[in-house]
Structure 1
Amino acid sequence: MATQKVGQRLGFIKVPESSAGAARGGTGRAIHPFDEEYGTDTSGLIFGDDLWSTAYYGVTPSLLTQMIGALNLDWERFTFIDLGSGKGRALLLASRFPFKKIMGVEFVPDLSTVAAANIAKFDPSWKACREIESITGDAAKFEYPEGPLVIYIYNPFLAPVLKKCLKHLSKLLEKEPREVYLIYGNPVFERLVKRYAPRFEQQWDRMFSFTTEEAAVDRFGSKEERVILWKYAYNR
């Protein structure tokens, strides 16, 4: 059963829509409460159809706000970038913080199109960043903007693609060193960061708890998530 659970989280094992949440106690509601409240489309469990991606599953709202809030940065200096951004829930949630800009990179055109539509309609009173963009493209070839960055990944790739992303990022930062934070949620391939991005120094490794309401609707019945933060040693 443990192997099956890991496979489900990675996207190796497909879980029927009706039973995905029940597998570990979650209700697996088709429409997430976040979408019900804001009229967006970020719900669903969408598996990758190749050998390199895992699956799209929107981040738990309180998880993202907790992990970003834990950085305690001068937000307006930083661009937030979500690699493998899917339908864009993380982009919408990140707008609670006054980032300079928020960008998502998604390889699947259909998902990126949905994300763009979500961005266009999302306008809560607490929105603090207005410049949000969903880009269709390859995260391993992404042209990062200038300036300080907060890069977020929620286990969107299997090892081969993550390796390419890390090598690409490291090569860029060797030429253009700067302040960069890397947030890795559900860090299944954390060892790759140490190997292919050695100048990123781990800052913390934490478990963040979901709210009771969020745990009740999680498709995997999860109540918490592990997150690791690294910082690029640009002045080392």
Structure 2
Amino acid sequence: MQTFVRKVVRQVRIDGVFGVAAKVPLWLRGIREAKLDRELGINTTGQVDVADSAASAPDCAHLSNAVFYAPLAFPKFHRLIRAAQPFDAAGYTFIDYGAGKGRALVLAARLGFPRIVGIELFASLHADGLANITAFAARDPRAGSIELLCMDAAVYRPPPGNLFCYFYNPFDAVVIRKVLTALQAAHEAAPRRIIVAYSNPVHAAVFDGARFLRLHHREEGLRIYANDES
């Protein structure tokens, strides 16, 4: 507690009372996020810049297309799941494009997705994800449904069956187009339901232009798309 007070006093000296007051909601959210992480036995908080992870994927063709890591807030994950309704998680494979440290994978497992795939470009983040899934498995047997892949999302080919594809703005439009091409090819080869949840939709126009998807839900910071198969 004393450490926290000292930090607050120091910040007041730097930013002033009103500057600190503006940051209080962010601090409180950070405290809550860390608490929820601990309850799951994982550690997924914090932002990681591409430069800090680049050494683990020096030869990747799409290194320059990657975006920094930051975990999706717990409430927003549940909000996007609600926005994607109606669907039955038990009938879908959940794919996290840019899985990072694995928070979304853990949350998807708790929702009952029978198969969960996390794709992460950087070996350092992939290792963090593995550690978190291992820790989560000690508390919840549903962790067994999670598969982690350290690879370029642009070359990943989705599995058979219905897909729930999650993106937290993990890369730019170049890679998004390649991922969408693979998803469309998979759908054309074997028609299935595909739901796309896109948080922080910086490149929403790319999804808007995908011929096999339709906008299902739109709100600030979130887009849900789906195809016409049911």
2:204 maps to which of 184, 190, 200: 190
Question: Is 2:196–2:224's contact at 8 Å kept on the other side of the alignment?
Answer: yes
Question: Is 2:44–2:103's contact at 8 Å kept on the other side of the alignment?
Answer: yes
In the superposition, the TM-score normalised over structure 1's length comes to: 0.74
Which residue identity is paired with 1:94? Answer: A
What is residue 60 of structure 2 aligned with on the other side? none
Question: Is 1:99–1:129's contact at 8 Å kept on the other side of the alignment?
Answer: no
What is residue 164 of structure 2 aligned with on the other side? 150
What is residue 216 of structure 2 aligned with on the other side? 203
Residue 73 of structure 2 is aligned to residue 60 of structure 1: yes
Residue 118 of structure 2 is aligned to residue 104 of structure 1: yes
Residue 83 of structure 2 is aligned to residue 81 of structure 1: no
What is residue 166 of structure 1 aligned with on the other side? 180
2:224 maps to which of 223, 229, 233: 229
Determine which structure has the larger strand proportion and give its number.
1
How many residues matched? 196
Determine which structure has the larger helix proportion and give its number.
2
Residue identity over aligned pairs, in percent, reads 30
**Against the structure 1 CA distance between its residues 39 and 234, is the aligned structure 2 distance closer, same or farther, given a 3 Å change threshold?**
closer
What is residue 41 of structure 1 aligned with on the other side? 43
Question: Is 1:200–1:231's contact at 8 Å kept on the other side of the alignment?
Answer: yes
Unaligned runs of 5+ in 1: 1-18, 208-225
- Aligned-partner Cα distance in 2 for 1:127–1:150: 21
In the superposition, the TM-score normalised over structure 2's length comes to: 0.76
Please tell me whether Structure 1 or Structure 2 has the larger radius of gyration of its CA atoms. Answer: 2
2:195 maps to which of 181, 204, 227: 181
Unaligned runs of 5+ in 2: 1-14, 52-62
**Against the structure 1 CA distance between its residues 172 and 96, is the aligned structure 2 distance closer, same or farther, given a 3 Å change threshold?**
same
The higher-RCO structure (CA 8 Å, 6+ apart) is 1
Superposed CA RMSD: 2.6
**Against the structure 1 CA distance between its residues 116 and 125, is the aligned structure 2 distance closer, same or farther, given a 3 Å change threshold?**
closer
- Aligned-partner Cα distance in 1 for 2:92–2:149: 18
- Aligned-partner Cα distance in 2 for 1:148–1:129: 20
How far residue 125 of structure 1 moved from its aligned partner, in angstroms, is 7.0
- Aligned-partner Cα distance in 1 for 2:226–2:30: 36
